Each structure stands twice: as C-alpha cells, then as structure tokens.
Amino acid sequence: MSGPAVFVFPGQGSQFPGMGHEAVRLGPHARQLTTAAEAVTGLPLTELMTRADARRLAEPEVAQVVVLVWSLAALAGLRRTGWRPAAVAGHSLGEYTALVACGSLDQEAALSLVTCRARAMAKAARRNPGSMAAIVGLSAETVAGLCQGASGRGQLAVIANWNSPRQIVVAGTVAAVDQVIEAAGRAGALRARRLAVGGAYHTPLMDEARDSLATSLADVPLAAPRIPFVSSVTAERVTDIAAYRTHLLAQVVRPVRWSDTVRTLSGLGAETYVEAGPGRVLSGLGREMARTARHLTAREALRTTPWAAGHRTSHPVEAGGDEPRAKELT
C-alpha cells in the first residue's frame, strides 16, 4: 500500500448524549439506517441516540448497539464521499463494524450479533459483578504486577485493554480493581480511575457471555475479507476467516491488543487513520503511537476530500462541527 487511508472503528465507551444529532449530520442515510436498525434490534434507537442521558447510554445493551449504528452510518457516509479504506480494524465491539467494512459480515447480521453480544455481556455482568479502570503512565509490566498482587482468594484483576503504551485498562472483581487503582496511584500513575461501565469486559468473568454468543455466532456466514482486516484480538491480519471465527467468539473474554493492532496497520503502510465512529478516542491513541500519520475523526474526514488526505478519489463533502472527546474505550 502506498499512502493509504485505513478505517478504525471504536468500541463501547465512545457513545455520548445527543449522538443522534451528530449522526444525522453524516448524511440522510443515517436516519434511514437507524430506523432499519430499530427493526432488527428492537430498541428505540432514535430516541436513545437523541434523548438518553449518559447513564442510560452506558448500559451495555444500549451502548454497544448505538455505537455500532453510528459507526455504520459513518462508514456509509465516508463511502458516499469517496473514501475507500485500504485496511480496517476495530477496537473490541468495533471489530464487528470492521467486518462489515471489509465485506466479511452482512450489516443486518452485524446488528443482530451485536444485540445478542450486548445482552449476553449484560447478563454475565449481573451474575458476576465487576468493574474496569484506566491506568495511565505505568508500564504494562508494572500494571500486570499490580493485577497479580490484587488477585487471589476469590478476587481477580487482569489487563483488559492494551490501548497504548501509556494507557492500559484493567478489569475484574470490584475489590480487586479498586486495589489496583490504589496501588497504581502509589506507583506514580498519571491517572488511575474507575470507568463508567457495567461489568468486567474482556476477562474470565465474561465466560457466560462467550458461551451464550457461541450459538448465535455459529451459523452466521463470514466471508473472506475483501481488503486487509486486522483483528484487535490477535493484532494480526486475518487470512483464514474460518479460524478467525474462534477469535471473534473469544473476544469477550480476551484482552484488546490495540497498541499492537496500530503497529500492524502502520506496518501495512497506513498514513491516514480515519476513526469511523462516534468520538475521537482512537484518534488520540493513534497520534500517540503513529506520530507521523494523519488522524481524522469521521466528521473531519467528511470535511476533507479523500484526495487532500492522500486518498486518490475526490467527491463533495459535508460540513459540521466537532464531536465530544472520549477518554477510554472498553
């Protein structure tokens, strides 16, 4: 690839109140997609994306679906304005949008699967309560040691997201995560705080969710990617879609390797990263890791001709304001 643009899709945590108003600015197709998604998911998505408060949007049954719908609308809008990704990747939930973008998964199937995934994870979280916390400014080795020290005697803390060399998310039982937060502060972390999420995602506490999702995922057709697709589970390009199905299922209990995923995309020659979803958290992480590349949010990309970004097609684009900035993804 020579100077390509890659699309990266965010996960749960990038939703925000009023996100539906921002989605409409992606183009008239966004409203149509949201209405169609309501029929598939059974959720009042238009109302949720325009009127729900942050607490309601943070519920996994809601958060995962609204982020997926917003990201699918962004993907459609970018395609309409001439953007064609040379590769794609998604952070956790965002991997489902990436599968749609690379032609491996049907859009309706993605909506159905994510609805099942969200409900299964919410149920597992109620049965096995847990929490997550973002740790900034400590090495992975230090954080791993803190997790080990907090685990045992019925308590568990593990690394759930390697978001960047500076930012790591830990998850586990509430007491263990709180212990890690306290220990991280003593160890000199720049920031160590609990995240507003409903469970310990990407940990063994989600085993029940993985088992529930297995039935739904087993019969869903997955086609070979038409463009390079890098999994955030393995941080490698997917070449065997049949083998990848196992990784997609295990995603809810395995950590997100985002820093390694960005490294792989950079190795493919990525020079422009377009965050095709709500918020700008992946753009912030990307600027930290791929410093010489250009990083655009979906709205920024829609205001920029693909040609101007080094992408060799050019179409009219839409104008609009900036999105709120997100801090961490789960």
Query: CA-CA distances (angstroms) from residue 311 to 4, 160, 177, 304?
Result: 6, 34, 43, 10
Cβ-count burial of 142 within 10 angstroms (0-12 exposed, 13-18 middle, 19+ buried)?
A: middle
Nearest-angstrom CA–CA distance, 285 and 227:
23
Buried/exposed code over 298-310 (b: 16+ C-beta within 10 A; e: otherwise): bbbbbbbbbeebe
Catalytic residue of the set 14, 71, 91, 92: 92
Handedness of CA 130, 211, 96, 269 (dihedral sign): positive
Could you write out the three-class secondary structure of 197-214? CCCCCCCHHHHHHHHHHH
Spatial neighbors of 276 by CB under 8 A, at least 6 apart, are: 7, 8, 9, 71, 74, 75, 78, 97, 101, 298, 301
Catalytic residue of the set 14, 91, 104, 202: 202
Q: What DSSP element (H or E) covers 112?
A: helix 107-127
CB 233 within 8 A of CB 248: yes
SS3 272: strand
Give me the phi and psi of 170, to 5 degrees please.
Answer: -110, 155
Catalytic-residue membership of 91: no
Catalytic-residue membership of 202: yes
Nearest-angstrom CA–CA distance, 199 and 138:
23
Catalytic residues: 92, 202
